[in-house]
Amino acid sequence: MNKIIEELMTLGKEVKILYVEDNKGLREGIVSILTKFFPHLDYAENGEIGYERYREYAPDLVLTDIKMPGMSGFDLAKMIKADNSDVRIVFLSAFDEKEYLYEAIEIGAFRYLSKPTKVPVLITALHAAVVVINNERHKRIFEKQMNDIFNYQNNLLVMLDQDKPILVNRQFLDFFGVKSLEEFMQLQGGLTELLLEHQGFLYPTSESGWFETALQNPGKLFHTKILNRDGEARHLIMKLRIIPNKEGFVILSFDDISDLNLMMIFDGNAVKKDQKFKDSTTIMKLMNVIQENASEVKLHNFYRGLTIVNSAVLISMDDKKIVLKTAYSQLKAIKIAKNITITSELFPYSVLCRVANSIDFDQQTVTFSDMQFIHESSDQRVNIRLELDEQRHSATLFRNEIKFLGTTRIVDISICSVKIELDAMPAGFAVGEMAKLTMVLESAKEPLSLSISGSVYRIDTFSKSFHVVLLFELSSVYHDKLLDYIAKRQMELIREFKAF
């Protein structure tokens, strides 16, 4: 008993108690005992006043008589429990009938003590109530701390019962742009379709589901790909933890490592598709802004290097395609050319369209649907680069003063670079080394003969040929001669384009 008294004196300091008793003499006697253990004590002489004191005082523990004039202890307890089910109720009663005991149990009484109550019995009951109150208080503090930790983790966390999400943290909701788990379930239907296909990553296949695989390998780190709220493919490391002593319950954590740019290493083709999808979504949003503001874009096409540029107006669009109205000459260039570039001050980069869906010359419209950003495009060329007539030029490549015996053809030329096509690649030929090229460029007047030395800037390999770009610098005399040739070649291409 001494240990119980000591613990009650310690634990009772943090507990608020309300005592309700209509018998003044008994009330004063019990109050004198309670005062020794509970610094936070209040009391009342009947049920009505007791409920008023409860509303003002908000006690953790209520000690009450049952039979009182007006509101009974049972009615008081029912009202208190309806307001706060965590309040502990200890009944004191001179009645031992089973009906009273059963009703006290139904109300949710913590203890039912007979009057007159012996002091040791009362102290033991109060000690038991205070221990429970303190344990539940500690549990709530612990759960709050765990909830804060759960919500403020950088990782996305989700608790599952079997494979059904039952709890998620704030980062999870923010990632998917939802306010609650219920909203997430309505939009996504669960986690089944979230993990996208990517080589070397975990995702559902016809042979096995991703959850079953993770469940068989608790603690293992899996690479996963999931779309976030903006439709952007993110690279997340997933780990499954089994909750001890809770069969079927697991926690999944997702750590976003997209900034490391590792997805390309696993599956380059998938990354390109993801980027194309992301670009397309962004482009359509920007196009919508352009349409709302009645702004123009510019279309760029290149006919054998000749630049064809005209403004265009966006006249209609939906989620998948846009319709632009532009000049007749631009439509003709689009029909001839393979690639179309769209530019606007609103775009962070040029937009590449590899093919037009349809061209309507009567309405002067063109429809696009397959669009993506390109960081470098031909519309950003500093120098004009024109294709040459295959029948009106010749070229010979020298490497280390040794003539290349294969076929050499000039693809295009500018004032500072030339792209040549080779039917074979000289052994060891690499970017950065020097090479010499002699060429004869025919024109309406006399042919232009040039011998240039340049560095290999780029090598592209195709199935039956190779393209090599050489960068060079010319003396002022030959610079002017080549510039004059390019100007004349440009006029030839303009006439050729108009003839189509």
Residue 35: pLDDT band (50, 70, 90) is very high
Mean pLDDT computed over 210-226: 90
The pLDDT of residue 221 is above 70: yes
Count the Cβ atoms, other than its own, within 10 Å of residue 43. Answer: 18
Domain ranges, residue 24 = 2-140
Please check whether residue 146 lies inside any domain of the structure.
Answer: no
The tokens of 292 are what? 């709302």
pLDDT tens digits, residue range 361-406? 999 999 988 888 876 665 556 678 899 988 889 999 999 889 999 9
Question: For the whole model, what pTM was predicted?
Answer: 0.48
Q: CA 11, CA 17: separation in Å to the nearest integer?
A: 12
- Return all residues near 430 (Cβ < 8 A) that are at least 6 apart: 456, 459
The reply to whether 162 and 261 lie within a common domain is yes
The reply to whether 129 and 162 lie within a common domain is no
Please check whether residue 394 lies inside any domain of the structure.
Answer: yes
Please check whether residue 83 lies inside any domain of the structure.
Answer: yes
* Domain final position from 380, 410, 436: 380
pLDDT at 470: 95
Please check whether residue 147 lies inside any domain of the structure.
Answer: no
Find the helix or strand (DSSP H, E) in which 124 lies: helix 119-152
The reply to whether 408 and 485 lie within a common domain is yes
Total residues found in the chain within this entry: 500
What domain count does the chain have? 4
The reply to whether 316 and 252 lie within a common domain is no
Residue 327: pLDDT band (50, 70, 90) is very high
Counting Cα atoms < 13 Å in the Cβ hemisphere of 251 gives: 13
Residue 141 near residue 122, CB atoms below 8 Å: no
Find the helix or strand (DSSP H, E) in which 16 lies: strand 16-20
pLDDT tens digits, residue range 185-209? 988 888 877 888 888 889 888 777 8
Please check whether residue 177 lies inside any domain of the structure.
Answer: yes
Q: CA 59, CA 98: separation in Å to the nearest integer?
A: 28
Counting Cα atoms < 13 Å in the Cβ hemisphere of 442 gives: 6
The reply to whether 201 and 231 lie within a common domain is yes
The reply to whether 121 and 221 lie within a common domain is no
